[in-house]
Amino acid sequence: MLTAVSRYGARVHPTTQQIVAACRERGEFIRGPQVAAFEQAFAARLGANHAIGASYGRTAFYFILEALQLPRGSEIILPALTFWVVPEMARAAGLRVRFVDVDPATFCLDPAALERAITEKTRAVVPTHLFGLPCDMDAILDLAARHHLAVIEDCAHALGATYRGRQVGTFGDGALFSFQTLTPLNCYGGGMAVVRDAPVAARVRARIDSLPWPHEKRIANRLLAGRLLRVFTRPRVFTFVGFPLYWIGSVLGAQPDACLREKVRPLRPLPDDYLERFSNVQAALGLASLDLLDGWTAATRSHAHALSVALGGIPGVQVPAEPAERTHVYYQYCVEVPKRAQLVRSCMRRGVDVEMRHVDVCPQLDLFAAERIPAPGAERAARAVQVPVHASLTDRQMRRVTGVVRKALEAAGPPGRPHVTEAAQP
Ligand SMILES: Cc1ncc(COP(=O)(O)O)c(C=O)c1O
Q: Which atom of ligand 1 is nearest to the CA of 180?
A: 10
CATH code (residue 337) = 3.90.1150.10
Residues 383 and 301 in one domain: yes
The closest alpha carbon to 333, from 157, 84, 126, belongs to 157
Q: Is the pLDDT of residue 332 over 70?
A: yes
Top pLDDT among 173 and 234 is at: 173
- Specify the pLDDT at position 425: 40
Residues 253 and 374 in one domain: yes
% of the chain residues with pLDDT over 90:
81
Residues 157 and 29 in one domain: yes
Give the Cα separation of 258 and 256 in Å (integer).
5
Residues 152 and 247 in one domain: no
Q: Which atom of ligand 1 is nearest to the CA of 58?
A: 11
Q: Are 42 and 290 in contact (CB under 8 A)?
A: yes
CATH code (residue 144) = 3.40.640.10
Q: Is the pLDDT of residue 181 over 80?
A: yes
Residues 205 and 244 in one domain: no
- Specify the pLDDT at position 259: 59
Instruction: Give the model's confidence band at 7: pLDDT under 50 very low, under 70 low, under 90 confident, else very high.
Output: confident
Asked whether residue 335 is domain-assigned, the answer is yes
Residues 302 and 194 in one domain: no
Asked whether residue 271 is domain-assigned, the answer is no
Question: Mean pLDDT score of the chain, rounded to an integer?
Answer: 93
Residues 174 and 316 in one domain: no
**Whether the CB of 82 sits within 6 Å of ligand 1:** yes
Give the Cα separation of 87 and 261 in Å (integer).
17
Give the H or E element holding residue 301. helix 280-311
**Whether the CB of 111 sits within 6 Å of ligand 1:** no
Asked whether residue 130 is domain-assigned, the answer is yes
Which phi and psi angles does 210 have, rounded to 5°? -80, -5
**Whether the CB of 380 sits within 6 Å of ligand 1:** no
Q: Which atom of ligand 1 is nearest to the CA of 190?
A: 10
Give the Cα separation of 365 and 163 in Å (integer).
31
Distance 54 CA to ligand 1 centre (A): 13
Hey, what long-range contacts does 63-66 have (CB within 8 A, 24 or more apart)?
Answer: 63/193, 63/204, 63/207, 63/208, 64/152, 64/173, 64/174, 64/175, 64/176, 64/193, 64/195, 64/200, 64/204, 65/89, 65/90, 65/93, 65/95, 65/124, 65/152, 66/93, 66/203, 66/204, 66/207
The closest alpha carbon to 214, from 156, 290, 155, 271, belongs to 271
Q: Is the pLDDT of residue 90 over 70?
A: yes
Asked whether residue 331 is domain-assigned, the answer is yes
DSSP 240: I
Q: Are 111 and 156 in contact (CB under 8 A)?
A: no
Q: Is the pLDDT of residue 420 over 60?
A: no
Residues 253 and 109 in one domain: no
Asked whether residue 83 is domain-assigned, the answer is yes
Distance 61 CA to ligand 1 centre (A): 10
- Specify the pLDDT at position 126: 99
Q: What is the pLDDT of residues 120-160, one digit of tens each?
A: 999 999 999 999 999 999 999 999 999 999 999 999 999 99
Residues 311 and 395 in one domain: yes
Instruction: Give the model's confidence band at 253: pLDDT under 50 very low, under 70 low, under 90 confident, else very high.
Output: low
Q: Is the pLDDT of residue 418 over 60?
A: no
Domain count, the chain: 2
Is pTM beyond 0.75? Reply is yes
Mutate to test the pocket of ligand 1, among 65, 83, 264 (most ligand atoms within 8 A of CB): 83
Q: Which atom of ligand 1 is nearest to the CA of 176?
A: 4
Q: Is the pLDDT of residue 365 over 50?
A: yes
Which of 174, 194, 209 is where one domain is finished?
A: 209
Residues 173 and 248 in one domain: no
- Specify the pLDDT at position 357: 74
Mutate to test the pocket of ligand 1, among 55, 58, 182, 275 (most ligand atoms within 8 A of CB): 58
Give the Cα separation of 64 and 205 in Å (integer).
10
Distance 258 CA to ligand 1 centre (A): 16
Residue 315, C-beta contacts closer than 8 angstroms, at least 6 positions apart? 338, 414, 415
Instruction: Give the model's confidence band at 256: pLDDT under 50 very low, under 70 low, under 90 confident, else very high.
Output: low
Instruction: Give the model's confidence band at 8: pLDDT under 50 very low, under 70 low, under 90 confident, else very high.
Output: confident
Distance 183 CA to ligand 1 centre (A): 9
Q: Which domain holds residue 195?
A: 16-209
Residues 176 and 244 in one domain: no
Residue 369, C-beta contacts closer than 8 angstroms, at least 6 positions apart? none
Asked whether residue 218 is domain-assigned, the answer is no
Q: Which atom of ligand 1 is nearest to the CA of 183?
A: 14
Residues 193 and 300 in one domain: no
Burial of 37 (0-12, 13-18, 19+ CB in 10 A): middle
Instruction: Give the model's confidence band at 426: pLDDT under 50 very low, under 70 low, under 90 confident, else very high.
Output: very low
Asked whether residue 283 is domain-assigned, the answer is no
The mean-pLDDT minimum among 88-102, 146-160, 338-352 falls in: 338-352
Asked whether residue 264 is domain-assigned, the answer is no
